[in-house]
């Protein structure tokens, strides 16, 4: 069996935007099950789902996408859990707004590259006291170096000399930068750790056309010396860019598609440069201001960018997902902006979590990339779960995995074998569980009722009600075709199902926990399901396998949900995607086997990101994104009935 790597790239390489905003489904009643058997094993990995840049790709290292970690909330995970979340998802760069000892301790040895802020509240004290700056560097940098990969120290954030509560801090920014730089240089680290400050478009005059950008008046007096310092010390300028606020400030002249990277025409021209999206226009507007301030070679790091999912005009999960997906595609391509073509744009997405204690309107609290767009999908009633198989020696602990599900709102899990540590970690988590009886146990449980009773007691009753068991899947992809590795297990599946069911029923849980199997369809296995009011079967569906086995009849766009028209007509039913065709093919088989009311749960579906034809990050991202959007509704046979689906799988398995 070939093993491939899959990604859950809902939104592209890092992408993603796995918008898994989960909703509840009513509990299913007692069910029996079976599955399509496909000779394919995939791993849908959140580390690829988030696929943040590739260090093996030369210049693309500079396009590494990071995520900001703001801690203005009273409902956030611990610092160690946050670091584990970054590591588990392959997020290799972080911006942290506060030097918190617990967070710095958690970052030791993580290999996460860090932008660490000097908070605005420290500026005046550090500007006037070199020893205080040296102590700050000692306490927050040198005490952790080289165990933490410090990348940039941002001295102050969005200080505005033109007015407001930060205006009084303007005289202290450059002085504090200089003293922090001197302390870093004294430690011999000025080439390893950059020193800068974070600013924003409010300070730039003449926002359009981009070439007219400049720092004027008080902004010029403030930024000019800072640009000169950055030029002389070979440091970048950090710049926060939010096309969202430009759009809502002037929606007539800054249309939504232009802000979301989705405009198809009417692009503004500025001399030799054409601007196809607002992000590039804002970035080059800042570059124009820097050039006029005497820093033609000063680079920009986009230290924040995001889009709110709620709380303001044009603030929605859909628009936020579109923005993050397209932004990441744009900066990861390494094509740069019109003024700086071919210059990778290092970018940090804001932010890891919603911050319910952040000052400002709701839209400012709801700008967050990871929580809304890595692991949530508004599946419209079709709860999307993620499979958790643990065939690897480089995986997080069971507790870390559960925290990863919880932190990302993934409320359903499929686990392929009962593991005491994993079950212990799931207690009290609220995660609904599909738990497998592994194929290796089928024969023993089929012929030994006490063994089945003990299996249920050890792996289910000992944890109920602390774990929300949803389904017990008795066997996986047992194949009735002679010569297949699991052929010899076929006679034991229904017997094992029956004995597991008999052990569940006396505990009064037969209506709470479903018992079923996942295997190749054959008629005799429908006996148990027909005894119950709402029978359901599990089916593993992989359009990828159908495509590579017959690319002529199953073309790639058809397999990835991107074909524009009907590909297959079957009586009154029209099929635009093989996922539906494969699902309805199984429904037809169930009807002929005497189960016309049997419903299907898609217990696995995925697409590989490497290792075979048509296996790529881009194709995997397209498939997962379109699959999650699609399961909100039904197939031609089931019409608008949502399709409960489990994505395969949480991690790559080495």
Continuous segment of H or E residues that includes residue 362: helix 362-365
**Who's near 186: CB < 8 A, 6+ residues apart?**
134
The strand order across the sheet containing 5-7 reads: 44-45, 5-7, 608-610
Question: Residue 215 corresponds to which tokens in the numbers above?
Answer: 């720092």
The structure tokens 């935007």 sit at 17
Distance between CA 443 and CA 439 in Å, rounded?
A: 8
Exposure letters 203-241 (e unless 16+ CB within 10 A, then b): bbeebbbbbebbbeeebbebbbbbbebbbebebbbbbbb
**Who's near 484: CB < 8 A, 6+ residues apart?**
37
Question: Residue 322 corresponds to which tokens in the numbers above?
Answer: 């579109």
* Closest C-alpha to 532, from 560, 492, 505: 505
Distance between CA 62 and CA 13 in Å, rounded?
A: 15
Question: Residue 45 corresponds to which tokens in the numbers above?
Answer: 């990995």
**Who's near 461: CB < 8 A, 6+ residues apart?**
507
State residue 592 phi and psi, 5-degree precision. Answer: -65, -25
Distance between CA 313 and CA 245 in Å, rounded?
A: 10
Question: Read out DSSP for 156-218?
Answer: EES--TTSSTTGGGHHHHHHHHHHHHHHHHHTT-TTTSEEEEEE-GGG-B--SSGGG-B--HH
**Who's near 176: CB < 8 A, 6+ residues apart?**
118, 122, 123, 126, 127, 133, 155, 156
How far is Cα of residue 539 from the mean position of the Cα atoms in its chain?
Answer: 25
State residue 441 phi and psi, 5-degree precision. Answer: -95, -5
The structure tokens 């030994």 sit at 448
CB 283 within 8 A of CB 198: no
The strand order across the sheet containing 468-478 reads: 514-519, 468-478, 432-437, 412-415, 384-388, 645-647, 599-605, 536-540
Question: Residue 294 corresponds to which tokens in the numbers above?
Answer: 């005497």
Q: Is 81 a catalytic residue?
A: no
* Catalytic annotation, pick one of 299, 304, 346, 604: 304
The structure tokens 């990969």 sit at 149
* Catalytic annotation, pick one of 158, 291, 400, 512: 158
HEC string of 495-508 equals HHHHHHHHHHHHHC
* Closest C-alpha to 559, from 607, 517, 617: 607
Q: What is the largest CA-CA distance in the chain?
A: 86
State residue 198 phi and psi, 5-degree precision. Answer: -105, 125
Continuous segment of H or E residues that includes residue 323: helix 317-332
Continuous segment of H or E residues that includes residue 133: helix 130-137
CB 212 within 8 A of CB 206: yes
CB 52 within 8 A of CB 46: no
Q: Is 61 a catalytic residue?
A: no
Give the catalytic positions in this structure. Answer: 158, 304
């Amino acid at each position: 069996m070939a093993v491939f790597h899959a990604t859950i790239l809902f939104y592209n390489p890092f992408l993603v935007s796995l918008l898994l905003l989960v909703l509840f489904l009513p509990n299913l009643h007692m069910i029996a099950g079976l599955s399509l058997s496909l000779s394919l094993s995939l791993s849908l990995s959140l580390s690829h789902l988030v696929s943040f840049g590739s260090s093996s790709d030369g210049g693309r290292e500079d396009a590494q996408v990071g995520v900001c970690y703001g801690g203005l909330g009273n409902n956030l995970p611990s610092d160690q859990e946050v670091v584990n979340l970054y590591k588990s998802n392959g997020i290799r760069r972080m911006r942290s707004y506060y030097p918190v000892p617990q967070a710095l301790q958690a970052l030791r040895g993580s290999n996460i590259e860090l932008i660490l802020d000097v908070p605005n509240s420290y500026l005046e004290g550090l500007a006037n006291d070199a020893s205080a700056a040296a102590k700050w560097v000692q306490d927050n940098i040198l005490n952790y170096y080289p165990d933490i990969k410090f990348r940039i120290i941002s001295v102050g954030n969005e200080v505005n000399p033109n007015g407001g509560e930060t205006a009084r801090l303007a005289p202290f920014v450059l002085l504090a930068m200089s003293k922090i730089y001197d302390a870093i240089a004294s430690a011999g680290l000025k080439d390893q750790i950059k020193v800068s400050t974070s600013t924003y478009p409010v300070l730039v005059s003449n926002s359009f056309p981009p070439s007219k950008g400049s720092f004027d008046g008080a902004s010029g007096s403030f930024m000019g010396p800072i640009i000169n310092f950055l030029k002389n010390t070979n440091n970048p300028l950090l710049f926060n860019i939010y096309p969202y606020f430009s759009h809502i400030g002037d929606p007539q002249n800054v249309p939504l598609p232009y802000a979301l990277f989705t405009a198809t025409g009417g692009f503004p021209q500025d001399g030799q440069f054409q601007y196809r999206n607002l992000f590039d226009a804002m970035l080059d507007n800042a570059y124009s201001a820097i050039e006029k301030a005497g820093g033609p070679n000063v680079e920009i790091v986009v230290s924040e960018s995001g889009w709110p999912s709620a709380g303001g005009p044009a603030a929605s999960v859909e628009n936020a997902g579109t923005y993050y997906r397209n932004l990441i595609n744009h900066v990861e391509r390494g094509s740069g902006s019109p003024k700086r073509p071919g210059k990778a744009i290092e970018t940090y997405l804001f932010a890891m979590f919603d911050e319910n204690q952040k000052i400002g309107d709701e839209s400012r609290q709801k700008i967050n990339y990871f929580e809304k767009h890595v692991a949530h999908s508004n599946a419209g009633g079709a709860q999307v779960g993620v499979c958790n198989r643990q065939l690897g020696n480089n995986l997080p602990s069971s507790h870390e995995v559960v925290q990863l599900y919880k932190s990302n709102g993934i409320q359903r899990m499929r686990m392929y074998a009962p593991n005491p540590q994993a079950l212990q970690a799931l207690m009290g988590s609220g995660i609904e569980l599909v738990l497998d009886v592994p194929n290796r146990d089928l024969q023993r449980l089929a012929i030994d009722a006490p063994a089945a009773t003990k299996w249920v007691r050890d792996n289910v009753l000992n944890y109920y009600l602390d774990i929300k068991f949803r389904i017990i899947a008795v066997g996986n992809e047992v194949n009735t075709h002679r010569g297949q590795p699991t052929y010899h297990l076929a006679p034991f599946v229904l017997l094992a199902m029956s004995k597991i069911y008999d052990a569940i029923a006396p505990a009064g849980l037969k209506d709470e926990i479903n018992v079923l199997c996942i295997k190749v369809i054959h008629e005799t296995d429908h006996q148990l399901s027909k005894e119950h009011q709402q029978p359901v079967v599990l089916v593993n569906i992989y359009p990828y396998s159908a495509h590579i086995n017959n690319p002529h009849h199953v073309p790639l766009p058809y397999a990835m949900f991107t074909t524009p028209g009907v590909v297959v007509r079957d009586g009154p039913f029209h099929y635009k995607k093989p996922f539906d065709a494969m699902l309805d093919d199984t429904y037809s088989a169930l009807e002929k086997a005497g189960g016309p009311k049997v419903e299907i749960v898609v217990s696995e579906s995925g697409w590989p990101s490497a290792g075979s034809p048509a296996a790529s990050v881009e194709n995997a991202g397209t498939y997962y994104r379109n699959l999650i959007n699609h399961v909100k509704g039904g197939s031609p046979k089931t019409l608008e009935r949502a399709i409960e689906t489990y994505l395969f799988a949480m991690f790559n398995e080495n």
